[in-house]
Amino acid sequence: MNAKRLTTPKENVQQLQEKLGHAAKESKKRRFHALYDKVYRLDILWEAWRRVRANKGSAGIDGETLADIEKQGEVLFVHECQRLLKEGEYHPHSVRRHYIPKKDGKQRPLGIPTVRDRVIQMAAKLVMEPIFEADFQETSFGFRPKRSAKQALDRIRKACNRKGNWVVDVDIQGYFDNINQEKLMKLVEMRISDRRILKLVRKWLGAGVMEEGSIRRSDLGTPQGGVISPLLANIYLNYFDLLWERNGSAFGELTRYADDFVVICKTKKDADRAYELIKVIMGRLELTLHPTKTRIVGLWTGEEGFDFLGMHHRKTKAETSQGKIYYTTQQWLCRKAEERIREVVKERLAPPNMRHKTFQDHLEYLNPKIQGWRNYYYTAYSQKKMAKLDWYILQRLAKWVAKKRQRTRWMSSLREVKALSSQCGLKTLL
């Protein structure tokens, strides 16, 4: 007799998600009432821990790191998570505020929950996500399983090529900080009636932010950086997607990635109407459009383009083999993305404390990044820019070699760098 193979936590999670997703699709009105016990199931918590550990990330306000948990024992940690949830003793910590500098001199706030909070949020997300996935629209691509930025870019390119000559390029001002929590909870309650799950989500929303020693709570927003935040953000904007589908699809084609979205329209009149409708729906959600970043762009002359998801989109003249002229939408990496790539390379190779590293060390750091950039940004129209960036990387390596060898002129190190690059296998963007 064959021994029955034990299923892994990952497989168990997949089975549960398929069941929940199927039930949600079957009945759009169904509200789920028995979910909390699934959140503290050991296999779900193990899979949640596995995912949080794979995402790495730093400690929250309790100072406990992933390494600390591994040292004390993962089994102990996962069982303790289960006990706290089961006995109703789980209370989330406030989120540690961390700022990331932005290009314009401003700072992007990030919230870092504790590792325990991240694991329990992940467990809740694993259970909740398939239910809401059944309701999410085709127009939405951000932070969703089996959907990607690449697919969103493809949809936009096709929409522009189908006589889409006008674009409403939308930016929501401080989206994550301005979500109305009461309205968000009403949207969650349309699908989930399990009081303990709703209480859990409310606790996370109300946990507040620890900044300079004091805790700040607000009835607005969902902390950026929380595992559950992208799902909640999508639930909130799915209301917009639905209303657009109902009232706006005649004006243009919507593509949304998290809080960024564009509507591709055929005429200026359609674009103006789309813009007005967007403002009305955003008003209902109590959100504000960014006054300078939200704009209507005319593509048809090929003089103007727009940036979305790190790519610049522009219509340019092309010719068929029969010599017929037509316009096609080209995509190449936008200036911001270019600058970011240069920045990453410079930050690695320029500092004096990087001179003791070996060429191989730098390659091990740069190669995965170069591969990732190539996978995402490479298009037939990006080639010129990619070639320039390849040259920039070589220059930076030559400058690093010159400093290491205490030479005054970096140009003299170029030949050596080119030889080392091909010998050690430096990847290229082209």
Q: Please give the Cα distance from 129 to 18 (Å, whole number).
A: 11
Q: Per this entry, what is the length of the chain?
A: 430
Average pLDDT in the 126-135 region?
Answer: 98
Residue 328 identity (one-letter amino acid): T
Summarize pLDDT for 55-97 with one digit per residue, the tens: 999 999 999 999 999 999 999 999 999 999 999 999 999 999 8
Q: 4-13, 35-44, 257-266: lowest mean pLDDT where?
A: 4-13
Does residue 159 contact residue 265 with C-beta atoms inside 8 Å? Answer: no
Q: For residues 313 and 222, which has the higher predicted lDDT (pLDDT)?
A: 313
Query: Quick check: helix, strand or coil at residue 260?
Result: strand
Segment 331-346 mean pLDDT? 96
> pLDDT value at position 4?
60
- 321 pLDDT more than 50: yes
Burial label for 96, CB within 10 Å (0-12, 13-18, 19+), is buried
Q: Which amino acid is at 162?
A: R
